[in-house]
Amino acid sequence: MGNEKEVTIYDIARKLNVSPATVSRGLQDHPAISKKTKKRISDMVDEMGYRSNHFARSLRQQQTNTIGVIVHELNSSFITSVLAGIEQVTTEAGYDLIIAHSSESCVKEAANARNLFNKRVDGLIASLSVDTTNLDHYKVFTERGVPIIFFDRVEQDSNSTVVVIDNTRCGYVATEHLINQGCKNIAHVTASLQRNVYSQRFKGYTDALYDNGIKYTEDLLVIGDLSESAGINAAEKILAMTPMPDGIFITNDFVAAVCMRTLKEKGIRIPEDIAVVGFNNDSIGKLIEPTLTTINYPGIDIGKIAGRNLINHLKGVGDLNHTNTIIVRSDLIIRNSSRKKQ
């Protein structure tokens, strides 16, 4: 079947025996066009299958009404909730989203940034991959005046606007909770400490140990990725520790769930033998047994705040140049995986 020619306003004008300008104005609900003529135009549009070329019109107006989003993964409850928050705000404001993911690769992240820039997005919302060490691939946006907001994984020493939680405080609260439950030998399972979120949570962990008179030892630190195999590997390393930890702070709920499952398969009782605290408040935390104590990371709020600040800037209501760091509240949710003291 051959490709059919795209219907234009000129085709509609010929059918109705009116000028193309009349059709164009009718489609834009111009007051100079009568209701009867608008109805004829609308009916013919439906009959002929005309599609308005929003892209061409937006280029003439120097804007595309699209916002680019770069995330480090899509298989994440947190990222899904962030995207839902962004989408809710941007849709209400009349903007479309173009979503790209880096698969935890700085190289792919840079390629995504170039692609979104070439698609002429009006603004960008991004979360950095685990191995991104600088923001050079975003310079073309700032040089052309295209606003960027970073969330979650960010470079906070840059001049960019970022939306984050207080990861250091959260790491402290999670660890202190384990200490208050009687834990004295607490392991920490995390991802690359080069990334801000994990280095800050690690700092909170070590600060809480220090403030409570507990010595930190590097043997209690387990660094991996955020995969299922990482959770299994973390459990195996914990089982091999002497003495075995009586508490674990894990900076990802999925990894925590896998780690708990593996420990239980080896006969470890949770929380009696080892208490566990996760991070993110993913839905899996309510489904596993025992239910997982975690840090609530409000993804929808993060997305809404990032989206709203970007939209306000684009509409001239706010100015990102005077807003550097937006901190969103996050709290500990206590469930059964950490309740040593019933």
Residue 149, SS3 per DSSP? strand
Half-sphere exposure of 317 (CA within 13 A, CB side): 7
User: What is the C-alpha to C-alpha distance for residues 230 and 235, in angstroms, rounded to an integer?
Assistant: 9
Q: Which residues are bridge partners to 96 per DSSP? A: 66
Contact 234, 222 (CB under 8 A): yes
Distances from the Cα of 200 to the Cαs of 219, 224, 264, 295, in angstroms? Answer: 19, 16, 29, 14
Distances from the Cα of 235 to the Cαs of 24, 232, 250, 337, in angstroms? Answer: 65, 5, 11, 15
Contact 304, 85 (CB under 8 A): yes
Q: DSSP state, 69?
A: E
Amino acid 2: pLDDT = 45
Phi, psi angle pair for 328, to nearest 5°: -100, 140
Residue 97, SS3 per DSSP? strand
β-pair type (275-277, 66-71)? unpaired
User: What is the C-alpha to C-alpha distance for residues 207 and 128, in angstroms, rounded to an integer?
Assistant: 26
Distances from the Cα of 331 to the Cαs of 112, 148, 187, 283, in angstroms? Answer: 33, 27, 21, 16
Amino acid 28: pLDDT = 79
Using a cut of 0.85, tell me whether the model's pTM lies above it.
no
Structural domains in the chain, sorted by start: 9-52 (1.10.260.40), 65-165+299-327 (3.40.50.2300), 167-296 (3.40.50.2300)
pLDDT in single tens digits along all 342 residues of the chain: 445 567 888 889 999 999 988 988 888 788 888 999 999 998 888 888 776 665 555 555 567 899 999 999 888 889 999 999 999 999 999 999 999 999 999 999 999 999 999 989 999 999 999 899 889 999 999 888 899 999 999 986 667 899 999 999 999 999 999 999 999 999 999 999 999 999 999 999 999 999 999 999 999 999 998 889 999 999 999 999 999 999 999 999 999 999 999 999 999 999 999 999 999 999 999 999 999 999 999 999 999 999 999 999 998 887 676 668 999 999 999 999 999 876
Amino acid 57: pLDDT = 55
